[in-house]
Homo-oligomer: A and B are copies of this chain.
Amino acid sequence: MERFLSNAVNKIDAKGRVSVPAHFRSVLAKRGFDELYALRCLDQPALDVGGMDLLERYEARIEAEDPFQQTADDMSYFIHGDGAFLKLDQDGRVTVNDFIREQTGISSEVAFVGRGTFFQMWEPSRLATHARQVRERLLRLRSVGDSRRSEDPE
């Protein structure tokens, strides 16, 4: 099975375009998607990006809610109103619009991060910070789960 994996940093050109890594594009192509769906991360300055399957998964989630409750409305707003389609041009680039810049803080470079069924877009230095924090958390988790090794991180 094809996954979104590894990461890469690409430059935004004078027209505000950036190449989506070829490997990510081939994953999308293999799944039959020529359009991208992007939505905000709620708690991080990043965007989750994937094919239409990503959108459909969220929509299925909304279906499960009572449509007369506020939660369903909130979810729909977040998924539909606060999401975006990113069109790939023929060379596999997307334009970095204000929506992306505002959410991520991206200005001149974009870090693409594979996440299995989707990928993320980050401002490179913020990603570096995030990566550090993730590793720290995992390390803590490990020392809690296995006290023998707590003094001995590899």
Give A residues with C-beta under 8 Å from B: 3-7, 23, 37, 40, 42-44, 55, 59, 70-71, 74-85, 99, 113-116, 120, 130-131, 133-135, 137-139, 141-142, 152-154
Interchain CB contact under 8 A, B131 and A77: yes
B82–A137 contact, CB under 8 A?
Answer: no
Given A6-B83, A74-B138, A76-B115; 15 other pairs, CB 8 A cutoff: A4-B80, A5-B55, A5-B83, A7-B82, A42-B135, A42-B138, A42-B139, A74-B137, A78-B135, A78-B138, A80-B113, A80-B114, A81-B114, A81-B115, A81-B131
Q: Which residues of B contact A3 (CB under 8 A)?
A: 55, 80
Number of copies: 2
Contact A115 B77 (CB under 8 A): yes
Cβ A5 vs Cβ B142 within 8 A: no
Residue in A75, A80, A141, A153 with the greatest tally of chain B CB atoms within 10 Å:
A80
Contact of A70 among B113, B137, B152, B153 (CB under 8 A): B137
Q: Select one of B74, B133, B138 contacting A154, CB under 8 A.
A: B133
Are A80 and B131 CB-contacts (below 8 A) given A42-B142, A154-B44?
Answer: no
